[in-house]
Structure formats: C-alpha cells, structure tokens
C-alpha cells in the first residue's frame, strides 16, 4: 500500500522480518472508525470473519461471505494509514481448489486495497498457500483452534491438550510456513506447544490464546474493550465500554423524555433578519 500524508504502511516483508524481534501488535477491525482508532498502535489490522458474530449477530463465522469481507475490508483500509490490513477469506471461498482461492483472494485484494489475506487450515491447505504466494498474494496462515472448523471440532476447543496431538499440529505449522505464508496465527493452543512451534518456525507466529511466547498477539477489539457477556479465558478486558455505552444512552433517553435535550445550545433558535 502506498503512503498517505507521509505515513508509510507496514508491509508484509516488515512483518516477516519481526520474527524473534519486537512483538507484533494486532487487533481485529471491521469499520473505518475502529480502524482509525487502532491504526497508530497496531502493526497490522485483521478484518476477521469474526465480523459475522461481532457485527452481524451470527452464532459462528460460517455464514460470512466474500462480499461481506470486501465491504468491511474497504472500510478498514479507508480508516487506516499505518497498519498493514489483512482480510480473512471466509468459509467456502478457498477450500475447493487453489484456483478458487486465487479468484476470490485476488478480488478481495483488488476491491479493498488490503495488503494480504488470511486463511485457515494446516497441511491440507499448503498447496493453496503455495499457489497464492507464488502469484503475488501474501498469505497469513491460521492453525490450532480454527473457527471455520467448529463443526468438525465439536465446538471451540483448546488444541494440544494431549501431547499425542502435537506432531499433527506441528506438521500443520511447518507445512504452511514452508508453503510460503509470511506469518501464522496460533489460536487456542496450549502454551508449551505454542512456544515450541514459535521456536521452530522461521516465520512469526501471532498468538490468540497461545501464550506470550508467540512473536505477536491479536485479540478481537470488541472483546478487549469489554463488549459482550461471555469471552474466552485468554481475553484480557482493558475497558468496559458496553457499560459506558449503556449509561450514556440511558442518560440521553432520560434527557429526551424530560425535554432537556436538545437545549438552548443545541437548538437553532434565531431567525434570519
């Protein structure tokens, strides 16, 4: 992405080069407003398919479409100037074949102006990652707890609790890295396994519920800001904006009912001469 007003976008090679260096900071963003607030603090912003649950009220990410991701991706790109913008490829948009993935990923990049896409999957998606990377589409991988696999997993379950599962998860990580992904999200993975994968890989890992041993961290912005009643164990709430929103809206409603809003300072009372 090009510089805007002298501010240079973080690039994919810069994220890749942060392996083992200063931790990479990331949050999800779904709107121009949230992107503008988070932009100067984050190295990359993820337009996650979690938008389906957070913004659209779905029970999972599965109903999210390419058109929805493009719409929100456009907003985040417009609202940001500094952070690399990565857009999730939604369920059903890349699994059929590498060619299907390229068609949808190239459309998402060209229509949003984002700098990379993210897709879920382990060794089974390595061929697709390689196909995209060799054709100029930067790919961020995602293994461990994969929301698009929620039906296969039988729910949102922590991965790696049994050490017998470690070789499979490590193999998935290695396959995606070797296929050409520039970074890899590790979600819901037990700490010792996440630390081992991070040590073994030559690309940065981005943790979400995978310990501070990863090369960076990401959270859903609404979770860390205090929206919603139920959050995962790995979320730290840095504010309680849902309560503050509720209090502000109640105050507004009370003022409307009492006819104290709008008041003299919010009313156009003077007539033109």
Catalytic residues: 187
- Is 50 labelled a binding residue? yes
Burial 46-80 (b: 16+ CB within 10 A, else e): bbbbbbbbbeeeeebbbebebebbbebbbbbbebb
Angle at 132 between CA 131 and CA 137, to 5 degrees: 155
- Is 59 labelled a binding residue? no
**Cis ω for the linkage preceding 198 (within 30 of 0):** no
Task: Name the burial class of residue 101, with classes exposed (0-12), middle (13-18) and buried (19+) by CB atoms within 10 angstroms of its CB.
Answer: buried
- Is 118 labelled a binding residue? yes
Judge contact between 80 and 47, C-beta under 8 A.
Answer: no
Per the annotation, where are the binding residues for 3-methyl-2-oxobutanoate?
49-50, 88, 118
Per the annotation, where are the binding residues for Mg(2+)?
49, 88, 120
């Amino acid at each position: 992405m090009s510089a805007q007003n002298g501010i240079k976008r973080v690039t994919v090679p810069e994220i890749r080069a942060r392996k083992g260096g200063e931790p990479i900071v990331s949050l999800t963003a779904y709107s121009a407003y949230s992107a503008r607030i988070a932009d100067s603090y984050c190295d990359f912003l993820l337009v996650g398919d979690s938008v389906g649950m957070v913004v659209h009220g779905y029970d999972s990410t599965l109903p999210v479409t390419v058109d929805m991701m493009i719409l929100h991706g456009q907003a985040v790109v417009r609202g940001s100037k500094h952070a690399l913008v990565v857009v999730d490829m939604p369920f059903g948009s890349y699994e059929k074949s590498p060619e299907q993935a390229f068609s949808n990923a190239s459309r998402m990049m060209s229509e949003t102006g984002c700098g990379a896409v993210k897709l879920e999957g382990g060794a089974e998606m390595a061929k697709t990652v390689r196909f995209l990377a060799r054709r100029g589409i930067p790919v961020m991988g995602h293994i461990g707890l994969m929301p698009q696999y929620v039906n296969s997993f039988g729910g949102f379950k922590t991965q790696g609790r049994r050490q017998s599962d470690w070789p499979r998860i490590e193999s998935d990580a290695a396959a995606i890295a070797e296929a050409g992904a520039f970074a890899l999200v590790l979600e819901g993975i037990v700490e010792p396994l996440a630390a081992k994968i991070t040590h073994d890989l030559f690309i940065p890992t981005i943790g979400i519920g995978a310990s501070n041993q990863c090369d960076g961290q990401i959270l859903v912005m609404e979770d860390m800001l205090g929206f919603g009643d139920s959050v995962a164990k790995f979320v730290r709430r840095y504010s309680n904006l849902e309560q503050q929103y509720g209090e502000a809206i109640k105050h507004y409603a009370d003022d409307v009912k009492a006819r104290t809003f709008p008041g003299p300072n919010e009313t156009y009372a003077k007539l033109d001469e």
